[in-house]
Amino acid sequence: MRCDGLFLNGPAHRLPAPVDVAEAVADGRYDPADLAADEYASITVATDEAPPEMAVAAARLALSRAGTPPSGIALLLHASTWFQGLDYWPTASYVHREVLGEDGRYAPALDVQQMCAGAIGAIELAASYLTADASRRCALVTTADRFGGPGFDRWRADVPGLVYGDGAAAVVVGREGFARLLSVSTVVDTALEGMYRGDEPFATAPGRTVDVRTRRAAFAAADARRLVGSVRERTTAGLTEAVARTLEEAGLKLGDVARVVFPNVGLRVLRTGYAEPLGLDVARTTWDWGRRTGHIGAADQLAGLAHLAESGQVKPGDLVLLVGIGAGFAWTCAALEITARPDWGA
């Protein structure tokens, strides 16, 4: 989808204090061999804030940075990947009440479930919603997660190379801003959906411990043998196609792009699964920042964009790619052009 006249504004994050990964290695929670390959430095860990509370904080900061009043928001989308603190309850409605209140009476509040691609997928939905009606000025995208025990072991629940941090991020999508939204597109491959389901039976209530390693092993033993092409080939194809489509729609080449914001995966996975298939130098990514937060669900890209602006690492004229990958599988990519130095940035 090529986007005309739309911008991202006020990206913000709420990140709790980091915990040194050496502590987790010392007490046996994190495998030292994984640390050697991943090279994470720290992981952000929430101790007193639930995901919706972090989302509210990030959203308020995003609106303040963008100079957008709550009454200017026509749509609120909240993305998440795991438990938000309560069952049978819409998180987006809580964020809406706390941030927009009565000023958002005509702004739908919707939860987005695209796993770790959710925030960038929400930007694509928001762009479509605003494009459909010129009277809709802005949309607010939020995302937040907290990966706590006993249901989720942030160090070992997923495959090696993924350690999960906690946090939230938000951004305003609208008619003005510091980053022009050039294009955004999604590629899906639901033949890989079983990688995060395995052979577990459907339950009647939540509460089971997440064990992605066992689920993926079950998928590899059964479903993966029926695939045309290997899992690695298909995930690489999804990534490269999403990036290529987005660049083509924006009239760009990858060499034009100054910075790429990927999920905050470990260094070995970043190199072999993301950078090398695209022919990209890791130095052009936000790895040095991401290794200090861990993989914060769907918030990596928006928080990474906020970091680039806050630290002055992007300037007007720079092109940035936000790349989201979510189990299911979906790859969503957004191309941006930095058009101004925000007064809240470096």
Residue that is last in its domain, among 177, 206, 228: 177
Q: What is the pLDDT along the chain (346 residues), one digit of tens a residue?
A: 888 899 999 999 999 999 999 999 999 999 999 999 999 999 999 999 999 999 999 999 999 999 999 999 999 999 999 999 999 999 999 999 999 999 999 999 999 999 999 999 999 999 999 999 999 999 999 999 999 888 999 999 999 999 999 999 999 999 999 999 999 999 999 999 999 999 999 999 888 899 999 999 999 888 767 776 788 899 999 999 999 999 999 999 999 999 999 999 999 999 999 999 999 999 999 999 999 999 999 999 999 999 999 999 999 999 999 999 999 999 999 999 999 999 887 6
Phi, psi of 183 (to 5 degrees): -165, 160
Tokens encoding 192: 């890989």
Query: What contacts 115, CB < 8 A, 6 or more positions away?
Result: 81, 196, 298, 326, 327, 328, 330
For the chain, the domain total comes to: 2
Residue that is last in its domain, among 127, 161, 177: 177
Q: Are residues 23 and 163 in the same domain?
A: yes
Q: Are residues 67 and 198 in the same domain?
A: no
Q: Are residues 108 and 254 in the same domain?
A: no
Predicted pLDDT at 230: 86
Q: Are residues 312 and 218 in the same domain?
A: yes
CA dist., res. 195 & res. 216, Å (int): 5
The answer to the question of residue 345 being in a domain is no
- Map tokens 């939230």 to a residue: 168
The answer to the question of residue 292 being in a domain is no
State if pTM tops 0.85.
yes
Q: Are residues 166 and 33 in the same domain?
A: yes
Q: Are residues 154 and 221 in the same domain?
A: no
Predicted pLDDT at 346: 66
Residue 279's CATH number: 3.40.47.10
Q: Are residues 68 and 159 in the same domain?
A: yes
The answer to the question of residue 343 being in a domain is no
Centroid of chain to Cα 194: 21
CA dist., res. 190 & res. 188, Å (int): 6
Range of the domain at 85: 7-177
Residue that is last in its domain, among 177, 206, 233: 177
Q: Is 10 helix (H, G, I), strand (E, B) or coil?
A: strand
Predicted pLDDT at 207: 84
Q: Are residues 19 and 137 in the same domain?
A: yes
The answer to the question of residue 346 being in a domain is no
Sequence letter at residue 133: D
The answer to the question of residue 260 being in a domain is yes
Predicted pLDDT at 229: 75
Q: How many CB atoms lie within 10 A of CB 288?
A: 12
